[in-house]
């Protein structure tokens, strides 16, 4: 039995950052923009879902974008921590909402460990996958949460993201400024191995500009910061930060703007209905069998 793949992010760092971002005013701007672009693909789905799972709903910032295209679909929010679940609950209903739920009504916010199998016909995960220490395990959880013939729509960061910042860190001999990002073709392979059918992958590159190193670093922090296992242990010194800011300022263009690119990877796939094992009996309704026999007796060309 092969050993599990090496984690791509530090679970402890992820927990600390999620606690910090739970206190943010809103989802990061980039997440909201990616959600808008991803929602433009929803009309391609032939059968609109009646209910959808919004995985990491607060940080994904997708509620309005999806509601614009699917106004009648019921949204179920999935959050990774208690603090983020509270933020999503507060956005949906007042603090006392839980006491007034009608009998049998499902809470609109679940923690990840509460998600029952086959919960909805669409699972939406905006900018989540690159946070996971074990992406294959997360894909397996998404597969289990989907109903048969349901579909997964997700976005994540690709390996061309922050190429310029990586080059700067390499120049100074520093560890990489972020965990590794997975190529979209490898993600497609992971989807197939995870039981998904007909995966479709796509990508685009956005180049963002900032007017100062401070503005750039603040936005990167709002996106989570460094979650990799190879980051430098302990705190950075003020001297190190000033050296980084100086190096970033030297890379500004003629207008004084500092540019970084982000590779956005989009994917969707279906959860195929389970196939009976070889040799298992196949049940055919009697009415269908009779209709098939009548059709054969009538022969071709007979109405």
Distance CA 48, CA 15 (A): 34
pLDDT confidence of residue 96: 44
* pLDDT above 70 as % of the chain: 85
Residue with tokens 């991803």: 38
Q: How many CB atoms lie within 10 A of CB 243?
A: 14
For residue range 54-85, what is the model confidence (pLDDT) as tens digits?
999 999 999 999 999 999 999 999 999 999 99
Written as six digits, the tokens of 70 are 């699917």
CATH (one of 3.40.50.300, 3.40.50.150, 2.60.120.10, 3.40.190.120) for 11-158+179-205+264-298: 3.40.50.150
Helix (H, G, I), strand (E, B) or coil at 139: helix
Tokens coding 89 = 């609950």
Contact 124, 268 (CB under 8 A): no
What's the gap between Cα 74 and its chain centre? 19
| pLDDT at residue 232 in the model | 75
Tokens of 155: 């976005």
Q: What is the pLDDT of residue 303?
A: 44
Specify the higher pLDDT residue, 296 or 187.
187
Given a cut of 70, whether residue 295 has pLDDT beyond it is no
Measured CA to CA, the distance from residue 11 to residue 14 in angstroms comes to 5
pLDDT at 182 over 50: yes
Question: 298 versus 185: which is more confidently predicted?
Answer: 185
- Centre a 10 Å sphere on the Cβ of residue 183 and count the other Cβ atoms it contains: 16
Q: Where are the domains of the chain?
A: 11-158+179-205+264-298
- Residues 63 and 254: their CA atoms lie apart, in Å, by 38
So what's the pLDDT on residue 98?
47
H or E segment at 31? helix 29-39
Cα 103 to the chain's mean position, in Å? 32
> What 8-state DSSP symbol labels residue 130?
G
Greater confidence (13 vs 293) lies with 13
Supply the mean pLDDT for the chain. Answer: 89
Q: For the chain, what percent of residues have pLDDT higher than 90?
A: 77
Residues 201-221: tens digit of each pLDDT: 999 999 999 999 999 999 999
- Whether 230 has a pLDDT exceeding 90, the answer reads no
CA nearest to 135, candidates 110, 118, 169, 158: 158
Residue 291: is its pLDDT beyond 70? no
Residue whose entry in the numeric block shows the structure tokens 């054969």? 296
CA distances from 155 to 58, 147, 176, 270 (A): 15, 20, 22, 15
pLDDT digits (tens, 9 = 90+) for 1-48: 556 678 889 999 999 999 999 999 999 999 999 999 999 999 988 889
Residue 158 clears pLDDT 70, i.e. is over it: yes
Segment 73-122, tens digit of pLDDT: 999 999 999 999 999 999 886 544 445 445 445 579 999 999 999 999 99
């Amino acid at each position: 039995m092969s050993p599990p793949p090496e984690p791509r992010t530090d679970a402890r760092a992820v927990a600390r950052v999620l606690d910090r971002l739970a206190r943010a005013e809103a989802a990061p701007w980039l997440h909201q923009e990616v959600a808008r672009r991803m929602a433009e693909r929803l009309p391609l789905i032939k059968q609109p879902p009646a209910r959808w799972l919004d995985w990491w709903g607060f940080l994904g910032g997708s509620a309005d974008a999806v509601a614009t295209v699917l106004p009648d679909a019921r949204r179920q929010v999935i959050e990774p921590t208690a603090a983020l679940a509270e933020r999503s609950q507060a956005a949906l209903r007042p603090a006392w909402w839980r006491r007034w739920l009608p009998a049998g009504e499902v809470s609109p916010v679940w923690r990840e460990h509460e998600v029952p199998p086959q919960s909805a016909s669409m699972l939406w995960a905006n900018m989540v996958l690159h946070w996971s220490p074990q992406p294959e395990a997360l894909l397996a959880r998404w597969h289990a949460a989907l109903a048969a013939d349901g579909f997964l729509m997700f976005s994540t960061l690709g390996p061309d993201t922050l190429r310029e910042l990586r080059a700067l860190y390499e120049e100074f001999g520093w560890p990489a400024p972020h965990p590794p990002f997975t190529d979209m073709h490898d993600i497609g392979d992971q989807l197939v191995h995870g039981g998904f059918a007909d995966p479709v992958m796509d990508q685009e590159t956005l180049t963002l500009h900032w007017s100062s190193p401070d503005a750039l670093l603040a936005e990167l922090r709002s996106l989570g910061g460094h979650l990799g296992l190879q980051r430098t242990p302990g705190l950075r010194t003020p001297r190190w930060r000033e050296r980084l800011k100086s190096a970033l300022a030297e890379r500004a263009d003629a207008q004084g703007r500092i540019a970084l690119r982000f590779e956005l990877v989009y994917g969707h796939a279906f959860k195929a209905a389970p196939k009976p094992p070889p040799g298992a009996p196949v049940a055919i309704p009697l009415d269908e069998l009779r209709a098939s026999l009548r059709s054969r007796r009538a022969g071709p060309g007979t109405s």
